[in-house]
Amino acid sequence: MSNFIIVGCGKIGNEYARILNKQGHQIKLAFGSGNSDSHVKLAKKYDAEFSSNYNILKEDKFDYDGIIISIPAKEDLKWINNLPPTNILIEKPGQLKSIDLEKLNKGIHNIFIAYNRKFYDSYNHLQNFVNSQSKPCIVSVNIPEPINTQFEDIETQRPFNVTNNSCHIISILRGVFGKLNLEKTFNKNKLFINRSALLNSITSKGHIINLLISLDEYSNTSIKVKGDKNSLLLQPIEESKEIIGLNSEIDLKDNVRKYFQLFGETKKSYCDFGFKPGFYKQVEAFTKFCSSRENIMSSLTKIEEGIEIIKEIEYFLK
């Protein structure tokens, strides 16, 4: 059993606490902003102490193995640098700018960013599919963003949702294919002007990646990988299907010929412990790291990788 501090006790923080408790760990402190009593309620539920004073975190008063931070992404995290050396899991994207994350990367702590999609069964299916191919793959990625009215601020006009959601897709792609080196081939203006951007990349292993991001579009994000013979489709990301063929039939009622794909192996990422997929396994990996100092499951995203993910997004938002 290990001991943890929860910083940010809203919905996500409560889920982390519930999973930690389910896995047999102890919550030593529930920390909140003081604007609500959510941290007090969480503390009472799990027999922990509570506080809204950041100074208490740097006093080294508590015997803990790690901190899980689930405060809103835009809140300042520089106080982390004043903590005694520890292990930290920060809810994605851990602030919206790479420059902010770089200020935290001081080599004092073991910091991870919570990209939980890398714990999906569909992600493992994608990795295994790509690794099993004898030649480089052709990858088509579609990132639609239906909510385009939330901007980080008036000056930059960076669509908040693009940064907050698309980071997961970049995390998946980098986890499977390595460094992307995406280059814009269409719309070299700011993304919010023409509402779309097309980016291409040839990875170090020869994989060809075509990525289309578009605002005002209502559809599921998709990743499609063309292998030696078959293809693999993730749409939505929680589900992966191997495409093994194409068939057609004539609809006698409408007198129209219709085409449909034939699917082979399918993997679904089910909700863990009644919450989002990947959360339980991510917490499990983090707590194991805290006790053994080994990234056993390797899907934990180190802060250095988290910085590179945000930089990829910052590039196509320029």
Whose tokens are 């589900």? That residue is 239
Residue 11 corresponds to which tokens in the numbers above? Answer: 């919905």
- What integer best gives the mean pLDDT of the chain? 86
- Considering only residues 276 and 160, tell me which one the structure prediction assigns the higher pLDDT: 276
In the predicted model, what is the mean pLDDT of residues 234-242?
Answer: 95
Taking CA 228 as the corner, what is the angle to CA 225 and CA 234, rounded to the nearest 5 degrees?
20
Q: For the domain made up of 119-274+302-317, give the CATH fold.
A: Dihydrodipicolinate Reductase; domain 2 (3.30.360)
How many Å apart are CA 11 and CA 15, to the nearest integer?
6
CA 99 to chain centre: 19
Residue intervals in the chain for CATH 3.40.50.720 = 3-116+285-292
In the predicted model, what is the mean pLDDT of residues 4-31?
Answer: 94
Residue 294 pLDDT: 66
Report the first-to-last Cα separation within the chain, whole angstroms.
46
Which region, left, alpha or beta, applies to residue 24 given φ > 0 means left and ψ of -120 to 50 means alpha? left
Computed on alpha carbons and rounded to an integer, the radius of gyration of the chain in Å comes to 21
Residue 209 · residue 224 · CB < 8 Å: no
Judge whether residue 106 has pLDDT over 80: no
pTM of the model: 0.89
What is the assigned CATH class of domain 3-116+285-292?
Answer: alpha beta
Q: State pLDDT tens for residues 124-138.
A: 999 999 999 999 999
SS3 content of the chain, % helix, strand, coil (to 5): 35, 30, 35
- Three-state secondary structure call for residue 21: helix
In the predicted model, what is the mean pLDDT of residues 61-90?
Answer: 87
Lowest mean pLDDT among 85-89, 151-155, 161-165: 151-155
E-state strands within 23-116: 26-31, 49-51, 66-69, 87-91, 110-114
How many Å apart are CA 37 and CA 44, to the nearest integer?
11
Q: 180 exposed, middle or buried (CB, 10 Å; 0-12, 13-18, 19+)? A: buried
Confidence of residue 155 (pLDDT cuts 50, 70, 90): very low
Residue intervals in the chain for CATH 3.30.360.10 = 119-274+302-317
Single out the residue of 182, 214, 215 nearest to residue 199, CA to CA.
182
